A and B are shown apart, each in its own frame.
Chain A
C-alpha cells in the first residue's frame, strides 16, 4: 500500500498543493477545505506541511484523491516535498 510522504525540507512554500487539494474536493481554488496546509515560518525561511487525515476545522480529510496513483498535490510538487511511497518502508 502506498501513502503520502512529506519532506518539508525541500518545500519551496508555493502552496500549489493546498489549492490543488481544494480543487480535488470542491472543484474550486482556495485553501479552506484543503487536506494540506503549508505553515510558512517566514522569519526562519522554513515550512511545516500538515496533512489532515481527518476532517478538522473546515479542512477535509485526505482521501489521496480517491486513491489515485498520483494525487494532485504530488503531481504538482516537482521539488519532491510530497511523494507517494510504499508504507512501512
Chain B
C-alpha cells in the first residue's frame, strides 16, 4: 500500500487494550485524514455520548500525502465530539507531529475510554506504551514536551500535549505541538484532559513509498515552483499572516471590541503591524514540515515590561484576537498573551472570545469588580487580559465562568449578557462577518461552529477578477465582496475542496484557498494517483469531499442542529459604526435567501437536513437509514 502507513491504531485507555486495523477498511470511500476520522466518529459516537464521556473518541489522523515531498504535507487532524456545540469537532495543526506519526507506521490513532491516572501515550514505531504522567500533570505544554523528550532520551521525539487548560476541562483548551502549533478549535484539548491523557509522543523511523516515484517528483517540482512564485503568497512568505489586520482595516473588517466596530484606530494598527513585529521581535522564520511558505516566526522581546518573553508564533489571529478584539495595542503584551496561551494549551480564538465577552459585560455593567475580584476589565487593559488567561486556564474565580465559553457563561449570569456572546452554534466566533459576504457565509456554515478554514475562501479579500471567478469556480462574482449572488455555490465548492485537502492533509495556504492559481483539485488528483497508484480524477475527489461534508452535516443533524443554527449573532445585522466599511452589515433577508439557495444546491431539506436521495447518491444509505430511524428526517 503506497503513500499510506497502512494501519489504524486503537487505544482503549480504560482497559489498556491496544489493537490495529488496516486503513484500507476506510480509504476507498473516505481517503484519509479528516475523512476517515469523521467516518469513525459518526459510527462510534452517538448522541447519547457527551463530549467528556469516556466513550467519546479522540481521533488523530495524518493524511494521504503527509510525510511525502508534496508541498506543506505537514498536518494532522483531530476529530471528536465538539465541547462547545455537541456536534462535530474538528481541527488540524501543522508542525512536525503528523509526518512523525506516519513514519511511525500510523495513518490514524483512535483514543477511547479514560485512564484512571494521568498518562501519556508513547508510540515508538511498532512499540505502543501507555505511560504514567502523574509527574507531568499541571505542567505547561512546553514543559511537557521537554520532560518527555528528556525522559525518553531523544530530542527529536514529536509530542502533542495539553496544558493545564486541557486538564481542567476548559472548553477553550487545544491540543498543542512544537511549542505553538495547535489543533485549536472545538475544545479538543479538554476532551483529551477528560481522558486523563496528557500527551501523545511519537518517534518514527520508517519510510513512506509512492507508487510512481518519477511521476510524483515531477509533480512535486512543478507545484513547488507554483507555490514559491505565486503572487498571493509573496506577502505570506514575507510577513506570515500578520499583514492581514492592517489590510482588513481598509474595509473595517476587524473584530474591534468584541465586534462592536470593524475599524481599529490606525495608530493602534501601526503599533501592532507586521513591520513593527518583524523589525523589533521576529528573529527567524519558521516552517512546518516540507513547507516553502514558512508563515511562522520565532519571537523574542528583549526590552521593556515583557523582556524575556519568547516563543513561536504568530498568526493574524493573534493580532486580531488578542489585539484589536480586546483593544490591546501593546505588541509585547500581545506576544506575551499568545505565549501564555501556547503554554497553558489554550486556543486563542476561543480564549479571546470569552475574554471579549467579559470585557463587554464589564463595559455594560453586567460584570463588576466584585465579580472579577478587583480586576478592571476595561478595553485595552492588557494586565487584566494576561491575568484572565491564567485564571481561565486554572479555573480560578471568574476564570471558572469564562472556562465554559461565552455562551454558557452568559446563560449562567443572564441579565441580557447573551447578546454579547459572539458565537456560532455555541463556539466563539473569531471572524468579522459584515463586509465580505461569501466569507461570512462560509464561516457561518462551517459544521464545526464558525471557522474560516472550510467554505470561506480568500477570493473576496484578494479581489479575484470576474474572469478568474468564472473560470475556476463558475462564479463571476467570487471576488466581489459585496455580492450575495453566487456565494452559496462558491462556499459549497470550497467546503468540498477543503474536505479533500484535509484528507491529504497538505496546508490550505498552498491551495486555491489562497489563490485560484495555487494547488487545485486537478493537482491533488494527480498527486494522489501518483502517490497511491490508484486512478483518481478531480471530479471523483470532489465527490468524496462532498461525502465527507454531508457526513458532518448528518452528525450535526443527529444532534439536533437545523437551519436555526446556521445564523450569526444579531450584531452582524447592524451596521459597522466607523471606517471605510461604515454602514455595511449582513442583510438578514439576503442571508436567508442564500441559505435556501445553498440547501437546494446541497440537496438538503429547507431545514438544512441531508435528504435520503443525496445521501444515497453519495453512497451513504446507512446514514439515511439512521437519520430516519432517529426521526431526524420525520
Contact = CB atoms under 8 A, between A and B. Distances in A.
B233 to A, nearest CB: 12
B69 A15 contact: no
Nearest to A16: B290
Given A26-B207, A29-B207, A30-B206, A12 B228 contact: no
Contacts of B289: 14-16
A22 B206 CA distance: 11
Contacts of A43: 142, 146, 179
Contact of B69 (A13, A58, A76): A76
A53 interface: no
B371 interface: no
Contacts of A29: 67-69, 207-210
B294 A12 contact: yes
B283 A28 contact: no
B408 to A, nearest CB: 35
A12 B285 contact: yes
B287 A42 contact: no
B325 interface: no
21 contacts: A12-B284, A12-B285, A14-B290, A14-B294, A15-B290, A22-B207, A28-B207, A28-B209, A29-B69, A29-B208, A29-B210, A32-B205, A39-B156, A40-B156, A42-B145, A42-B179, A43-B142, A45-B284, A45-B300, A45-B310, A76-B69
Interface in B196-211: 205-210
Given A12-B294, A20-B69, A79 B208 contact: no
A76 B224 contact: yes
B487 to A, nearest CB: 35
Contacts of A13: 286-287
Give the size category of A's interface with B: 20 to 34
Give the size category of B's interface with A: 35 or more
A42 B144 CA distance: 13
Nearest to B312: A45
A23 interface: yes
B336 interface: no
A78 B287 CA distance: 12
Given A28-B207, A30-B207, A19 B284 contact: no
A55 B156 CA distance: 20
A54 B69 CA distance: 25
Contacts of B291: 12, 14
Nearest to B311: A45
A14 B284 contact: no
Interface string B142-185: 10011000000001100000000000000000000011000000
